[in-house]
Amino acid sequence: MGQEDKRFVIQEHTRGIRRRRIHWDFMLEWGSGQTLQTYRLDKAPQQILRSSANAVKIFDHPLKFLTYQGPVNKGRGSVRIVETGTYQLVNNEHNRIELNLNGQILKGKFTLCHVKDDKWKFIADSCIA
């Protein structure tokens, strides 16, 4: 992937019978644009501007999730879009993915820093050593 703009979305994902468990799915249009590389975040977009979020790399999602809102997991949860925009991939190394985001809330440089296994940190500006 070069410097062309790709799309991203963040969905608030509620789960459970009473929908009390919430996380956010950060999805990036990736590679040839056939799937969305997805990370589960523990913070909402507004909170990420103030402090880093823990991120877990989960399975890729189909492109329909760029615009989908509604029930998921056979009705045991639901998703709603809370952030959307475009991004440019700046750098993609083994343990660091640098992005320029142009969203409604998230604007500027953000970095996904690999921690261990499927665990990452999602940070505004740069990785914290």
Euclidean distance between CA atoms 66 and 63, whole angstroms: 6
The yes-or-no verdict on residue 78 having pLDDT over 50 is yes
Sequence ranges of the domains in the chain: 6-124
95 phi and psi angles, rounded to 5 deg: -120, 15
Q: Taking a C-beta distance cutoff of 8 angstroms, is the pair 111, 127 a contact?
A: yes
Q: Taking a C-beta distance cutoff of 8 angstroms, is the pair 86, 6 a contact?
A: yes
The pLDDT score that the predictor gives to residue 31 is 81
The answer to which of 32-41, 53-62, 102-111 has the lowest mean pLDDT is: 32-41
Q: What is the mean pLDDT of residues 59-77?
A: 90
Is pTM beyond 0.85? Reply is: yes
Euclidean distance between CA atoms 122 and 53, whole angstroms: 5
